[in-house]
A and B are shown apart, each in its own frame.
Chain A
Amino acid sequence: MSGSTTQWTLDPATVAAQVDRLPALPDVVVELIGSIDDPDADTDLLARKIARDQALVARLLRVANSSFYGLQGKVSSVHDAIVVLGFRGVRTLATAAAVTGCFSAQGLATRFDFRAFWAHSLGVALCARGIARRLRANEENAFTAALLHDVGRLVLASRFPHHFDAVVAYRERCDCLWQEAERDVLGIDHAQIGCALAGRWRFAPLVGEAIAWHHRPESCEIQALAHVVHVADALAHALGLAGDGASLVPPVSAVSWNALALDREDFLALFAEVEGQHAGICELLAG
């Protein structure tokens, strides 16, 4: 790609230093994410820890009692939420509530659309969960990994705002994909930065791998979840769920597409399901 510049190049050490300065997730959320692929996790202990974080409980109950879950007024404690939604459902909700509440809309790159970012991320999360359900795979893992797939872009916009704006300007000039613009301008892309954050926040390897490889899932060691997130990302772009009128569908890996083996009726039903849920979950988690 022409027009590259060394002015904005970021080396991994600089990125790592800034990632270390990001606000830490609440300890309980780190434990929740880290327990995703741990069948021996002590769910009772984790539930008690969630209950001690009042801010998290408030957000969790607000979502659990929303029309999105159809449980208006029925959930008044973490224990109730686990009875109704299951531990995995609560883990997903607590993670989503904590992660979306962790970043402020203030002080970001001027060209970063905070609302569109979360609208897209939540759209990918809904698509991934719907795909996982149809594959009889773990829906909660799919939702969490998909919600966080672009978190590296949020790191760029919050810790390197001028670099982010330079990427936007370059992308507009060259009309290329985001990850290509990032690699040309910064020498690093949001998937790599997201992977660094996954390490900092001690995400389960499963989630970190899916974030790192969501644009190149066929290179991922743990491919199944990366395929789901990769295709879900393309679906969310194709449906324009960011709502900013600037959707750009990335190339879709034939390996991932074929691995899911969904048929036409699956996709059409999934589109309707996702669009029916999207506005509600955006209002709850990114409003």
Chain B
Amino acid sequence: MRHEAREMALDSVPLDGTLAADVHDAHGALLIPAGATLAEATLNSLRRRGIESVSVLVECPEDPGQTEARQRELERRLRHAFRLAGDDGPARELRQLVTDYRRSRAS
């Protein structure tokens, strides 16, 4: 699944959403870094500091054609990287593990 940053009012932020950009106070001091999880307590803390909206990562459904192209590219890259590793035993197992890992990270 692809993600993109979207500016949202605090009341619309999904609980435990992921912050897409650093949040600073009016003086430029860092309040919360990008990547932080937005728990209820964090959102309340931001409200108390007068923050009205934040940038949040949201999932964007990928079109099936893009998914297929991405998987083909992954397979091409791994085939190239493993070309001298042999095609049986541990090398095959490792290649499958990395393929599964990359697919799980993309979904």
CA of A247 to CA of B81 in the docked complex: distance in angstroms? 5
Q: A252 near B101 (CB under 8 angstroms)?
A: no
A sample of 10 more A-B contacts (CB under 8 A), given A249-B81, A251-B84, A254-B89, is A175-B84, A234-B94, A235-B94, A238-B78, A238-B81, A238-B95, A248-B84, A249-B85, A249-B94, A252-B86
Instruction: From the candidates B81, B84, B91, B101, name the one contacting A177 in the complex (CB within 8 A).
Output: B84
Q: A271 near B84 (CB under 8 angstroms)?
A: no
Given contacts A238-B94, A238-B95, contact A252 B85 (CB under 8 A): yes
Which residue of chain A has the shortest Cβ distance to B101 in the bound complex? Answer: A271
Q: A239 near B91 (CB under 8 angstroms)?
A: no
Q: A238 near B84 (CB under 8 angstroms)?
A: no
* Interface residue? A264 (CB, 8 A): yes
- Size of the chain A interface, CB-CB below 8 angstroms: 24
Instruction: From the candidates A248, A253, A257, A267, name the one contacting B81 in the complex (CB within 8 A).
Output: A248
Question: Which among A238, A250, A251, A254 has the greatest number of chain B C-beta atoms within 10 A?
Answer: A238
**Interface residues on chain B, size class:** 20 to 34
Q: A268 near B84 (CB under 8 angstroms)?
A: no
CA of A257 to CA of B100 in the docked complex: distance in angstroms? 18
* Interface residue? A161 (CB, 8 A): no
Q: A254 near B90 (CB under 8 angstroms)?
A: yes
Which residue of chain A has the shortest Cβ distance to B100 in the bound complex? Answer: A268
Chain B interface secondary structure, helix, strand, loop or mixed?
helix
* Contacting residues, chain A, for B100 (C-beta < 8 A): 264, 268
* Interface residue? A240 (CB, 8 A): yes
Q: How far is the CB of A232 from chain B (nearest CB, A)?
A: 12
Given contacts A249-B91, A253-B90, A257-B89, contact A264 B84 (CB under 8 A): no
Which residue of chain A has the shortest Cβ distance to B33 in the bound complex? Answer: A67
* Contacting residues, chain B, for A250 (C-beta < 8 A): 84-85
* Interface residue? A176 (CB, 8 A): yes
Q: How far is the CB of A276 from chain B (nearest CB, A)?
A: 11
Q: A237 near B81 (CB under 8 angstroms)?
A: yes
* Interface residue? B104 (CB, 8 A): yes
* Interface residue? B93 (CB, 8 A): yes
